[in-house]
Structure 1
């Protein structure tokens, strides 16, 4: 199993709103990567892709695992402002339903779908990952890009996602990963990151594997592609360098932490999971 996905293929709500959402959705959506609020993927040091291109590359790697085709139904859990869903729908010809617990995300995603002429094939709605508003066996495939880190009960969320998949359906999960326990200054950096990201705790490999198994999902591929995404943290820090929130801003902690993103991303204990599973 390679650590390069491209080498293999061409609570309150259980999904708590990301700190990047709602009041600052427009700021982040434009200042960062035009709707791709997730990490980018680079082949290596010589890869000259921009952050915008690299985030699209990660989306394409996810799409490549879904075996999607025209007429197939796909679910995007934690759809953000819609760019990955629209890109995958356009590339595969599939029907996509995206869910988020941010009203601002949903509004922007619907606007994007209308502008792209894809509103007939891509829909977005407010929904909890642990209580999805879809009948069982509704989808041929699903993905969750950096959603699991926000969910306190990942087993419950994965079980619910699995319920909506048809037998044999594929789920692709990508997320920031805590490779091993941290101590001292590194532990404080991770704690600050979790507060800034709105994450109860970063998922660990064993936890993710166990949650997938309990959800009735067979792991086909489990990779740590952390070395391919590390450039993202500096790039995001640069993107938010000019954002100066007031201390009473509800998202002050995230924007304040943005300056520490490169330090967080450089920790050896921080990886990035790329997981492909199949409903049994």
Structure 2
């Protein structure tokens, strides 16, 4: 296998999702209770709303319970499609946001690792979703998102700032594995996937949970380059 991420394809990787979806199935509604304040995420979705025409198609990657993003976008007249690996999250999202369409789906299914075909989108959101992947797959996911967008399409991304690669951490009574980057590395990775970063912000966030430490949230607002 080449050392260049440009040469990586989903078919050349062993996808490991062991325990990731199951952890969120167990969490259920407690997820929104543990992360009640999402001002940065709401502001990033509002940027999409203000930048897109009514009826624009938006893909919400790692949609979770559908709150707040899918609801915020559908309330603004967007056509929203959400994907998530967790059956429990998808069930809750369908209850919370009946106007959107939700699919239990891996982003790899949209990038050559499966038969998923949801069409093209005017915008994509990935709020704390790509951090659930190993670093090698994050590069692939960004390229997949680029292909899913129409020319000039918008991309709102958030990650936790951390220099880790699929590191196991305690999470709401269970464990998950997460990846992260320092902010300059994340920006370089996104730009290498042919996105223009039009705005960047960050905020410190302390979840309402005793086993999760305060963390720095990074938000990138991007536009697809052709």
Residue 177 of structure 2 is aligned to residue 199 of structure 1: yes
Q: Please, which runs of 5 or more residues in structure 1 have no aligned partner?
A: 1-10, 39-50, 182-189, 238-258
How far residue 18 of structure 1 moved from its aligned partner, in angstroms, is 7.2
Return the TM-score normalized by structure 1.
0.63
1:274 aligned partner: 219
Q: 1:103 to 1:148 in 2, by over 3 A?
A: same
Q: Give yes or no for contact 1:171–1:277 (8 Å, CA) kept in 2.
A: yes
Q: Give yes or no for contact 1:149–1:203 (8 Å, CA) kept in 2.
A: no
Q: Output one character per residue of 1:121-165: Cα deviation in whole Å (capped at 9) or x when no partner.
A: x100011123322356x1111111111211112111111111100
Q: Secondary structure at the match of 2:102?
A: strand
Q: Secondary structure at the match of 1:80?
A: coil
Q: Secondary structure at the match of 2:97?
A: helix
Larger Rg belongs to: 1
Q: Secondary structure at the match of 1:171?
A: strand
How far residue 206 of structure 1 moved from its aligned partner, in angstroms, is 3.4
Q: Give yes or no for contact 1:62–1:172 (8 Å, CA) kept in 2.
A: yes
Q: Give yes or no for contact 2:169–2:178 (8 Å, CA) kept in 1.
A: no
How far residue 176 of structure 1 moved from its aligned partner, in angstroms, is 1.2
2:21 aligned partner: 17
How far residue 76 of structure 1 moved from its aligned partner, in angstroms, is 0.4
1:127 aligned partner: 105
How far residue 13 of structure 1 moved from its aligned partner, in angstroms, is 4.4
Q: Secondary structure at the match of 1:144?
A: strand
Distance 1:161 1:277 in 2: 11
Residue 73 of structure 2 is aligned to residue 69 of structure 1: no
Q: CA RMSD in A?
A: 2.8
Q: Please, which runs of 5 or more residues in structure 2 have no aligned partner?
A: 1-14, 111-115
Q: 1:222 to 1:164 in 2, by over 3 A?
A: same
Q: Output one character per residue of 1:86-116: Cα deviation in whole Å (capped at 9) or x when no partner.
A: 12210x21100000001111111112233xx
In the TM superposition, what are the counterparts of 1:9-158 in structure 2 within 5 Å?
A: 11-13=15-17, 16-17=20-21, 19=23, 21-26=24-29, 28-29=30-31, 32=33, 38=35, 51=36, 54-55=37-38, 57-66=39-48, 67-83=51-67, 84-90=69-75, 92-114=76-98, 118=99, 122-132=100-110, 133-134=116-117, 138-152=120-134, 153-158=137-142
Distance 1:107 1:194 in 2: 21
Return the TM-score normalized by structure 2.
0.76
How far residue 205 of structure 1 moved from its aligned partner, in angstroms, is 1.9
Q: 1:29 to 1:198 in 2, by over 3 A?
A: closer
Q: Secondary structure at the match of 1:223?
A: strand
Larger strand proportion of the pair:
2
Residues paired across the two proteins, number: 198
